[in-house]
């Protein structure tokens, strides 16, 4: 008889593992607390408008293609993907605007020379060297690190000269670009890893390279459609996905995970358990503290975590068809802004803002002639002392003003029909995100590879971890990889092979 797997949480990592294991003959149950699948990759419906709750960039499309193939499916049968180009519109405090493009690299170089004279040649060096780094680093992220000895495997040792862990990300970009503002254009992603580019390890220059090399993609209907498609694949292979089914605690017997206890007291038993809840939150709420040492709640409280985010989801009665799909508005003093978010944990007077104007690519997200405007502002996580009940209204006004003035969304306030706001306390209280840290554990060297929670959890047998809080890390492609890695570990445990 086939073995039973329970997956706690229907986020992208859990759904990846579920569809792969179901395709390999396991009886899979996915238990999701929320009334919808996807976790932070879910759909948010506000009136007649559809938003993504969280991620809006899809990079490394080949990883998505691969996990669907491992589940016996073709991604193009479920999703319509369109490349977004230019990648994004970057707007500096002095209104200079940079639109890097993967499909028009000569045009990107011309923009660099115009906006940042003397730096154009560095772009070609950047692409050449970062490709080599990519080819060395990515294989290191595709395998588990269950033993300290895994850190010394030849694959990683050969990659070490290219990882640039001895210098910061901003200094690493100094290999190619002398202009500080241009470096920011290739390092701003670091704040989503929970680190300032002035502190983040240089190896993470690979993130901007992944955008420049493989592009940024948008699935019609939003990135939430990926989670919905994965849930469909689970069902097609005989698995079940139960929403509005909260888990109260992990059931552990003799040091082994044997199932879960639901909030209503029902016990569900399984041969293997996959945990896709926010890792730190799960260790604090779903697992008895006496079972934990390395990842005891007291120790987790001392770990480093990513920033949080202030979110606005606006349904507006017009189309901004002259503005790009993705826009990033940089603070006039970006370094100060990042210090305020990551170090002093204070609200910035001049924050940086990301805006998604998805309807220029995907008009079906809104009624005809209307648009969805998604706004994300990196803000301190809840280890700071910001009173969001007090601060949120004024901060909303500040963000809208920046969108209208610096961002070009003229008259935005006058066109809002529906609105939803999410602040860090809601990430914690409504979506079970530890400390409201939207991007999970930070990605400093001491919290990566073997030092990050293992895919085969080291403290409880037959418990497997997926999601942004485990190896390889946060971001959709790496979360999909976590689901694939944990699936492969389960198959190996049962004497089977992935794909067989």
Distance from C-alpha of 278 to C-alpha of 202, rounded to nearest angstrom: 27
Domain assignment of residue 437, yes or no = no
Domain assignment of residue 462, yes or no = yes
Is residue 137 domain-shared with residue 185, that is, in the same domain?
yes
Band the pLDDT of 159: cuts 50, 70, 90.
low
State the DSSP code for 288: -
Please tell me the predicted confidence (pLDDT) of residue 152: 67
Is residue 415 domain-shared with residue 352, that is, in the same domain?
yes
Please tell me the predicted confidence (pLDDT) of residue 482: 97
Final residue of a structural domain among 403, 429, 455: 429
Distance from C-alpha of 335 to C-alpha of 104, rounded to nearest angstrom: 30
Strand (E) or helix (H) holding 107: helix 105-115
Domain assignment of residue 256, yes or no = yes
Domain assignment of residue 12, yes or no = yes
130-153 in b/e form (b: 16+ CB < 10 A) is beebbebbbebbebbbeeeebeee
Is residue 312 domain-shared with residue 298, that is, in the same domain?
no
Please tell me the predicted confidence (pLDDT) of residue 107: 97
Domain assignment of residue 229, yes or no = yes
Please tell me the predicted confidence (pLDDT) of residue 221: 98
Domain assignment of residue 436, yes or no = no
> Quick count: other Cβ atoms within 10 Å of Cβ 355?
30
Please check the confidence at residue 161 and state whether its pLDDT lies above 80.
no
Final residue of a structural domain among 214, 240, 272: 214
Please check the confidence at residue 465 and state whether its pLDDT lies above 80.
yes
Is residue 72 domain-shared with residue 149, that is, in the same domain?
no
Is residue 415 domain-shared with residue 461, that is, in the same domain?
no
DSSP string spanning 397-435? HHHHHHHHHTS--TTGGGGEEEEEEE-HHHHHHTT--GG
Helices (H) and strands (E) in the chain, counts: 15, 19
pLDDT tens for residues 400-456? 999 999 999 999 999 999 999 999 999 999 999 999 999 999 888 888 888 899 999
CATH code where residue 141 lies: 1.10.405
Is residue 259 domain-shared with residue 233, that is, in the same domain?
yes
Please check the confidence at residue 490 and state whether its pLDDT lies above 90.
yes
Contact 324, 88 (CB under 8 A): yes
Final residue of a structural domain among 147, 180, 214: 214
State the DSSP code for 166: T
Percent of the chain with pLDDT over 70: 97
pLDDT tens for residues 298-351? 999 999 999 999 999 999 999 999 999 999 999 999 999 999 999 999 999 999
Q: Identify the CA nearest to 443 among candidates 175, 186, 174, 169.
A: 169
Contact 406, 412 (CB under 8 A): no
Tokens (6 digits) for 363: 């008009």
Is residue 406 domain-shared with residue 371, that is, in the same domain?
yes
Is residue 169 domain-shared with residue 147, that is, in the same domain?
yes
Please check the confidence at residue 4 and state whether its pLDDT lies above 80.
yes
pLDDT tens for residues 359-414? 999 999 999 999 999 999 999 999 999 999 999 999 999 999 999 999 999 999 99
Is residue 157 domain-shared with residue 239, that is, in the same domain?
no
CATH code where residue 462 lies: 3.50.50.60
Is residue 230 domain-shared with residue 284, that is, in the same domain?
yes
Half-sphere exposure of 76 (CA within 13 A, CB side): 2
Is residue 124 domain-shared with residue 165, that is, in the same domain?
yes
Contact 312, 336 (CB under 8 A): no
Give the residue numbers spanning the domain of 249.
4-80+221-303+443-493
pLDDT tens for residues 188-208? 888 777 678 888 888 889 899
Domain assignment of residue 274, yes or no = yes
What is the number of domains present in the chain?
A: 3
Domain assignment of residue 15, yes or no = yes
Distance from C-alpha of 202 to C-alpha of 169, rounded to nearest angstrom: 4
What does residue 468 show for φ and ψ, rounded to 5 degrees? -70, -20
Contact 63, 81 (CB under 8 A): no
């Amino acid at each position: 008889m086939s073995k039973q797997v329970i997956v706690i949480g229907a986020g992208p990592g859990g759904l990846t593992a579920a569809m792969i294991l179901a395709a390999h003959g396991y009886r899979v149950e996915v238990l999701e607390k929320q009334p919808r699948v996807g976790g932070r990759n879910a759909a948010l419906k506000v009136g007649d408008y559809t938003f993504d709750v969280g991620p809006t960039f899809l990079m490394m499309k080949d990883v998505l293609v691969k996990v669907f193939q491992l589940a016996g499916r073709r991604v193009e049968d479920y999703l319509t993907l369109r490349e977004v180009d230019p990648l994004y519109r970057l707007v500096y405090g002095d209104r200079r605007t940079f639109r890097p493009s993967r499909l028009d690299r000569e045009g990107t170089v011309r923009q660099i020379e115009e906006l940042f004279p003397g730096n154009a040649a560095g772009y070609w060096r950047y692409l050449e060297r970062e490709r080599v780094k990519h080819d060395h680093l990515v294989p290191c992220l595709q395998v588990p690190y269950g033993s300290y000895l895994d850190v010394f495997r030849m694959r990683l040792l050969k990659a070490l000269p290219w990882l640039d862990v001895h210098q910061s990300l901003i200094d690493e970009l100094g290999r190619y670009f002398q202009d500080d503002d241009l470096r920011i254009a290739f390092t701003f992603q670091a704040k989503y890893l929970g680190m300032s580019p002035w502190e983040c390890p240089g190896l993470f220059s690979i993130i901007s390279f992944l955008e420049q090399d493989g592009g940024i993609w948008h699935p019609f209907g939003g990135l939430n459609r990926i989670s919905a498609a994965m849930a469909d694949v689970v069902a097609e292979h005989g698995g079940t996905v139960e929403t509005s089914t909260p888990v109260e605690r992990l059931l552990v017997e003799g040091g082994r995970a044997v199932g879960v206890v639901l909030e209503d007291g029902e016990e569900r038993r399984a041969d293997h358990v996959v945990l896709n809840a926010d890792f730190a939150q799960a260790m604090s709420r779903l697992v008895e503290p006496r079972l934990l040492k390395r990842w005891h709640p007291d120790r987790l409280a001392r770990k480093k975590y990513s920033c949080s985010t202030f979110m606005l989801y606006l349904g507006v009665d017009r189309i901004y068809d002259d503005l790009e799909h993705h826009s990033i508005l940089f603070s006039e003093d970006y370094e100060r802004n990042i210090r305020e978010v990551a170090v002093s944990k204070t609200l910035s007077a001049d924050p940086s803002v990301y805006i998604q104007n998805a309807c220029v690519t995907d008009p079906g997200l809104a009624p005809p002639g209307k648009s969805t405007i998604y706004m994300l502002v990196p803000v301190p996580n809840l280890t700071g002392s910001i009173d969001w009940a007090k601060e949120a209204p004024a901060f909303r006004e500040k963000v809208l003003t920046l969108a209208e003035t610096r961002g070009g969304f003229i008259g935005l306030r006058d066109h809002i029909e529906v609105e939803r706001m999410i602040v860090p306390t809601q990430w914690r209280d409504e979506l079970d995100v530890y400390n409201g840290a939207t991007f999970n554990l930070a990605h400093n060297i001491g919290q990566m590879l073997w030092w990050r929670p293992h895919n085969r959890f080291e403290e409880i047998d037959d418990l497997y971890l997926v999601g942004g809080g485990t190896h390889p890390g946060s971001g959709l492609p790496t979360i999909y990889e976590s689901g694939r890695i944990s699936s492969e570990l389960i198959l190996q445990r049962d004497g089977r092979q992935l794909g067989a």
